[in-house]
Amino acid sequence: MKAVFTANDTRNGIKEIVKRASQIGIAIPAFNVPYLPMIEPVIRAIIDQNSFALIEVARLEWEKFESQSSRAVINEYHKWQNSDHTRIHLDHIPVIDEDGLKVDFLSIIKEAIELGYESVMVDGSRLSLEDNIVATKQVAEIAHQAGIPCEAELGAVLGHETGPLPPYIELFNSGKGFTDIQEAKRFVNETGCDWLSVAIGNIHGFISKAKKDLKKVQAKLNLDHLDALHRETRIPLVLHGGSGVQQEYVLKATKRGITKINIGTDIRQAYESADKSAGDLIASQDAVYERTTWIIRDYLDLIDTKEILLEK
């Protein structure tokens, strides 16, 4: 029988595991699952590489894709979960979504906590700084009452929006949307969030039907900006849009404050491509397994990190 993690096990709760990773300078990958059948092969790959990772779902993945709901995802997760290798995280619950619509974010997050999600994220990045602080503080207080950590976002990690973006190199060189260093310091101090998603050159994969199959740009990261953010915030930082970032930047970033790396587009496109070409569920799951294995083993170099991160 598989061990089941409980929130009372603080030694190996996700907050302590992420803190441990931050202290030793390694990253924890977090795999987004827009399709329920992806969960089993992702977990199998994590276990086979003797690694540790998060399984996560964002609201857009049940609104725009086929993960159905936070309940459906955690129910499927529990069929395959292994507490020596995985935890489950609620990703990107926006206050204002990618279509500009208001979201009942508190109800979604409260329900997820009741369902057993072990960490949650509120995304107020489309709000003013002051409104983002207010929304994030509300969620952090609710999460902490439940004994779990809260992730937030400050800055503009672009890509989910349906409209056109300027050329990537123009965005990067201008620093447009980068997380402001002094705002980040204030934000962390006033909200009490545990982890902060930052914008330092990273971008999300497209989700619109017209663009979702496009290969992501090979993004760079402004490592000096990352250094300053980590120095001022002093909490684990999160890299959203991890798929497609040039490897040299990712590996350097994990030594400079990035402790959680979200991977979505890479494994989603592997699943969709196999499904389109073969029309076979097993083939699609095999494609996800192989791509997840490559990410852990070759891209992030995270084989055999389970023993390092979990205390027994």
- For the cut 60, the answer to whether the pLDDT of residue 126 exceeds it is yes
Higher pLDDT, 140 or 9: 140
The rounded distance, in Å, linking the Cα atoms of 192 and 167 is 35
* Domain 28-309: CATH superfamily, name plus number: Aldolase class I (3.20.20.70)
Per-residue pLDDT, 171: 77
Tokens of 153: 């976002």
Non-local CB neighbours of 128 within 8 Å, separated by 6+ positions:
none
Largest CA distance in the chain: 53
Q: Per DSSP, which regions of 165-293 are E strands?
A: 195-198, 237-239, 258-263
Per-residue pLDDT, 36: 98
- Mean pLDDT rounded to a whole number for the chain: 90
Q: For 225-264, how does the pLDDT look when each residue is reduced to its tens digit (9 = 90+)? A: 999 999 999 999 999 988 889 999 999 999 999 999 999 9
DSSP collapsed to 3 states, 265-284: HHHHHHHHHHHHHHCCHHHH
